[in-house]
Amino acid sequence: MATVDVLLPTYNRLESLILTLSGVAAQTLCDLRVVVADQSGVSARESPVVRTLLRVIEARGGSVEWHERPQVHGIAEQRDFLLRQATADAALYLDDDVFMEPWVVARLLEVLREQGCGFVGAFPAGLSHRDDVRPEQQRIECWEGPVQPEIVEPDSPEWQRFHLHRAANLWHVAQRLAPGERRLYKVAWVASCVLYDRAKLLAVGGFGFWRRLPRWHSGEEVLAQNLLLRRWGGCAIVPSGSYYSQVPTTVLNERGTVEGHALALLPEMVARYAAAPEGSEGSEGGECDTFVDFPA
């Protein structure tokens, strides 16, 4: 079994996917199982560059599993499918528009194991904003002790942490750290490059709620992470060592909008999953292979 499963959904982003796979292929942690769910019109695996990068991953000690899938239900269903393929204790959801520096996966795994939390993120910077300095959006709340569970309600003061994940704000914050300094900070949610404790993610239902969402939706990771924050806590790292390719999103409909947000399900999901059973600890309890399917 691999140390980390890299779960990578992709859809018609060949150039960006090549950038993402290049970062994966260069990781110092080589014991990776890369699971790709490809919903592109033309399979990205037909690209000789993609095939070369997959060979590099394998030659360095990893493995690759590639799934061709129809693009029907939306991103939450893609994430649900990928989670069902995962077997490692730690699962990295990596979007197909993210480049990681070579140390990122190893650092995320180190934090996840040390803190015992639900997830650890490495939020990507959009470096077209290198000169767009926004001091009013760069407030950061660092964890001074162990990561703890916390309740972060939409529209609460803590929810405003999301501003740090705009433009290149986090990158600018990282430039102010001392050489070699690494910190963990508090989040409302974190997107695009997130390492989950797989058993904990399953314990809050994973992404089985996708059937409750319209075809064009967003917020699926926001919902899952909110539940994990309440039970085990979560955090992100700075520096993040990750960068966006800044290609257009693929989760919008033809009008350039979404038709629903997963946070609409938050109250019922909190009632169902937010409180850990009495006496339970972390990911113990044999929940690792438990999937929950929500009726449509």
Predicted confidence at residue 248, as pLDDT, reads 86
Contact between 196 and 234 (Cβ < 8 Å): no
Q: Which of 75-84, 98-107, 161-170, 275-284 has the lowest mean pLDDT?
A: 275-284
Under DSSP, the state recorded for 142 is: B
| pLDDT exceeds cutoff 60 at 114 | yes
pLDDT band at 292 (very low <50, low <70, confident <90, very high): low
- pLDDT of 285 reads 37
Q: What is the CA radius of gyration of the chain?
A: 18
Check whether 216 has a pLDDT greater than 80.
no
* Mean pLDDT (whole number) for 20-47: 97
Report how far residue 290's alpha carbon sits from residue 271's, in angstroms, rounded to the nearest whole number.
19
- pLDDT tens-place string over residues 124-149: 999 999 999 999 999 999 999 999 99
pLDDT of res. 276 = 47
Q: If you ran DSSP here, which 8-state letter would residue 290 be given? A: -
pLDDT digits (tens, 9 = 90+) for 245-277: 999 877 766 676 666 788 999 999 999 998 644
Predicted TM-score of the model (pTM): 0.92
Given this model, what pLDDT does residue 256 score?
66
Would you state the pLDDT for residue 105?
98
Return the percentage of the chain with pLDDT > 90, whole number: 82
Q: What pLDDT is recorded for position 252?
A: 64
Determine the pLDDT at residue 274: 83
List, for residues 2-21, the tens digit of each pLDDT value.
999 999 999 999 999 999 99
Residue range 97-111: mean pLDDT, rounded: 98
Q: What is the mean pLDDT of the chain?
A: 91
CATH class of this structure's domain 4-273: alpha beta
Q: What is the pLDDT of residue 286?
A: 39
CA distance 91 to 83: 8
Do the beta carbons of residue 286 and residue 199 sit within 8 Å?
Answer: no
d(CA 5, CA 118): 16
Angle at the Cα of 164 (from 158 to 170), degrees rounded to 5?
140
